[in-house]
Structure 1
Amino acid sequence: MAIITISREMGTGAYAIAKELAKKLKYTLVDRLKIEELAPAYGLTPEILERVDEKPPSYRTAEDRLQAAHLATMELILLDNARKGNVILYGRGAQDLIKGVTNVLKVRFIAPFEDRVEKFAEREWIDPDLARELIRKSDHQLGGFIHFYFDRDWNDPMAYDLILNTSKSSHSAMIESVIAASKDPRLKAGEGESMALLDDCILAKRVEAEILKSSLERRLRITAKDGVVTLSGHVQAEGQIEEAVRIAGSVSGVTDVDCDLDVVSYKPVKD
């Protein structure tokens, strides 16, 4: 029931490796195509996915919060599949979504910038200068998404269990390396605890999505443990505490709501 997460730089060829890896392991590959296939069951359309997939959310306006709610709903697709096990989660900060889960192998694919440019330009039949521009933008967007949304340095080597340079090894060698690492007994040892933690993550994410759809400001921290959801942080009025508790309590699977919210209101200072 191992879970493999894949972080990748554009132009490394990681996607082809991920597909072959899933085939050899007989794992489900949760990539953009799989997400699009499952999205209608979660109330998401291809247009919504295009707006939110791997893009840092904003929370200033009601429309911003709705987009953030869509992102949270998309993340439920990743979490629900992680709960099933024997899965490869491709990109989208998956390793951060399931932080603390122990039966996870966190893999990252890298390569020198110019090697990536050459490989991407050849694959897409485009001018190398255009390939450079697209790869720079991709690195900036994906790295920014991880930094803004998960507060983590995308390039920190300590965040991964296995880092593979695709310019130095063959696909077959890298695939065999990941397969060998995925069979480490230590991954299996944490399965029971990991499944319980994933259940908690899924429930907290469901509550988060519903709260983001409301008029409440996103100043809440939401955690879950064995069906009990804890809300902490602050709101601007007493009525918002009642609303937050009501929304959380209405989510399927929530057995109780522990409220640790404070009211903090800001008034303009007159000269």
Structure 2
Amino acid sequence: MAIVTISSQIGSGRTEIARPLAEELGYAYVDKEAIFAAAEGYGWLRRSLDKMDERRVGFWERSEAERRHYLILVEAILTDFARQDRVVIVGRGGNIILRGIRHALRVKLYAPFPVRVRRVAEREGISQEKARELVAKSDRERAGYIRYVFDHDWMDPDQYDLLLDTEHLPPPVAVEAIARLARSPSFQPRPSSVEAIEDLALASKIKALLVMDGRVQTSWLEVRVERGEVLLSGLVETEYERGLTEEIVRGVEGVKKVENSIGFKLLGTGL
């Protein structure tokens, strides 16, 4: 079955659509809580991830290293969920992370601004003015999160397979439409796409484990996986780091072979 990612604007009906869709398909529902729980398996405390959440005011002030580590961890978690198949992944740039996976159905829910303001006002029991401020703030923060973390435009239609304007679309109808497409032949896994998600998940896991290990500077490292065979490239400062990187990677479950093409940086030059 297809992997489904749901991206949405506030007030576009995500709550009424995404979870019922998972129930309709018999899929696991992967939201922020599921991602945070999985992150603890990599040694990240919940409070550390919560600080990096897209709605936190200080997110944009985080260092480049923190941004990169956050991205690596989210990629590892989402691809691990995706490789298990039969999942609905909500938010966190899932549509971008899985853009090269043939059986990933990437859905965007949206609605006109005034419609979303009305819905949020009714749902939260607040004034239209307060709802307008809340919706505008959410749009800025979600767009900023995707731009900063992934360097993509949140509203770029090319990032999605299906865009649904929910203004006149009742949630049950939206659920039915997405489920029908998820069950269609176009989005069924094939051997090549299953292999692609397995390789992506393994590469992402390796990068996350290297980051969390902390003994190797990973900023200049590249990890590629093809059919379980790992190619390490990029630069480190010492022979010890080069050997340690290979040792860590060889210990990762699923790795069949390691080709170590890591070179050395010239100390003091940044190269």
Partner of 1:201: 200
Partner of 1:106: 106
Deviation at 1:70, TM superposition (A): 5.6
Residue-by-residue CA offset, 1:89-124 (whole Å, 9 max, x unaligned): 111111222232111111100111222122112212
Asked whether the 8 Å contact 2:76–2:208 carries over to 1, the reply is no
Q: 1:142 to 1:192 in 2, by over 3 A?
A: same
Deviation at 1:212, TM superposition (A): 1.8
How do 1:1-271 residues align onto structure 2 when only pairs under 5 Å count?
Answer: 1-36=1-36, 38-54=38-54, 60=64, 64=66, 68-69=68-69, 72-188=72-188, 190-213=189-212, 214=214, 215-265=216-266, 267=268
Deviation at 1:257, TM superposition (A): 2.5
Separation in 1, partners of 2:60, 2:191: 32
Structure 2 unpaired stretches of 5+:
none
Q: 1:211 to 1:34 in 2, by over 3 A?
A: closer
User: Helix, strand or coil: the match of 2:230?
Assistant: strand
Asked whether the 8 Å contact 1:8–1:14 carries over to 2, the reply is yes
Structure 1 unpaired stretches of 5+:
none
Separation in 2, partners of 1:227, 1:56: 36
Separation in 2, partners of 1:59, 1:19: 34
Separation in 2, partners of 1:243, 1:60: 24
Separation in 2, partners of 1:91, 1:16: 15
Q: 1:158 to 1:165 in 2, by over 3 A?
A: same
Asked whether the 8 Å contact 2:230–2:259 carries over to 1, the reply is yes
Separation in 1, partners of 2:62, 2:121: 33
Residue-by-residue CA offset, 1:206-236 (whole Å, 9 max, x unaligned): 1111222325041222221222222233334
Q: 1:247 to 1:70 in 2, by over 3 A?
A: farther
Deviation at 1:41, TM superposition (A): 4.5
RMSD: 2.7
Separation in 2, partners of 1:120, 1:157: 24
Deviation at 1:43, TM superposition (A): 4.0
Read off the aligned partner of 2:222 and give its amino acid letter: R
Asked whether the 8 Å contact 2:37–2:46 carries over to 1, the reply is no
Deviation at 1:29, TM superposition (A): 1.3
Q: 1:129 to 1:46 in 2, by over 3 A?
A: farther
Separation in 2, partners of 1:57, 1:177: 40
Please report the TM-score for the alignment, with normalisation by the length of structure 2: 0.83
Comparing 79-88 and 68-77, the one that deviates more: 68-77
Separation in 1, partners of 2:239, 2:39: 36
> Percent same amino acid among aligned pairs?
33
Separation in 1, partners of 2:210, 2:33: 28
Separation in 1, partners of 2:61, 2:234: 19
Asked whether the 8 Å contact 2:10–2:138 carries over to 1, the reply is yes
Q: 1:128 to 1:247 in 2, by over 3 A?
A: farther
Asked whether the 8 Å contact 1:229–1:254 carries over to 2, the reply is yes
Deviation at 1:15, TM superposition (A): 2.0
